[in-house]
Amino acid sequence: MGLNLLGASAVLFALTFLPPDNSLAEVEKSGVLRVCVPPSMPPLVTNDSAMPGFDIELLGLIAEELGVRLVVNHNAAIGADFNPRNWGITRAQCQIIAGGVVANESTRGFLELLPTGIKTGWAMTDAADTLSHADTRAAVFPGPTALDRLALSRYLRSKKIRILPASSVQNLVDLLQRGEADILISDRQTLTSLNLPSSSVHWVSEADLGTFDLSIGLWKGDATLLRAVKKSSQNLHQLGVAGRLATRYNVHVDANLRP
- Rounded Cα gap, residues 170 and 40, in angstroms: 13
pLDDT digits (tens, 9 = 90+) for 35-58: 999 988 888 999 899 999 999 999
202-203 and 122-124: which strand pairing?
antiparallel
Confidence of residue 230 (pLDDT cuts 50, 70, 90): very high
Q: Give pTM, 2 decimals.
A: 0.79
Looking at the predicted structure, is the pLDDT value of residue 19 above 70?
no
* Cross-strand pairs, 36: 73, 97
The more confidently predicted of residues 28 and 7 is 28
pLDDT digits (tens, 9 = 90+) for 159-183: 999 999 998 889 999 999 999 999 9
Q: Omega before 38 cis (within 30°)?
A: no
| Contacts of 141 by beta carbon, 8 Å cutoff, 6+ apart | 165, 166, 167, 168, 169, 171, 172, 184, 185, 186, 190
The alpha-carbon radius of gyration of the chain (Å, integer) is: 21
pLDDT at 259: 62
Which of 18-27, 124-133, 217-226, 240-249 shows the highest mean pLDDT? 217-226
* Cross-strand pairs, 213: 119
- Rounded Cα gap, residues 87 and 101, in angstroms: 12
- Strand ranges across the sheet with 96-102: 69-74, 32-37, 96-102, 212-219, 111-120
| Contacts of 117 by beta carbon, 8 Å cutoff, 6+ apart | 213, 237, 242, 246, 253, 254, 255, 257, 258, 259
32-37 and 69-74: which strand pairing?
parallel
Residue 190 near residue 168 (C-beta atoms within 8 A): no
**Region of poorest pLDDT, from 5-19, 105-119, 204-218:** 5-19
3-state DSSP of 84-147 = HHHHCCCCCCCCEEEEEEECCHHHHCCEEEEEEEEEECEEECCCHHHHHCCCCEEEECCCCCCC
- Write the Ramachandran bin of 240: left for phi over 0, alpha for psi from -120 to 50, otherwise beta: left
pLDDT at 220: 92
Q: Helix (H, G, I), strand (E, B), or coil: what is residue 18?
A: coil
Q: Helix (H, G, I), strand (E, B), or coil: what is residue 215?
A: strand
Residue 54 near residue 246 (C-beta atoms within 8 A): yes
* Cross-strand pairs, 250: none
Determine how many CB atoms are found less than 10 A away from the CB of residue 144.
25
**Region of poorest pLDDT, from 12-26, 42-56, 70-84:** 12-26
- Write the Ramachandran bin of 31: left for phi over 0, alpha for psi from -120 to 50, otherwise beta: left
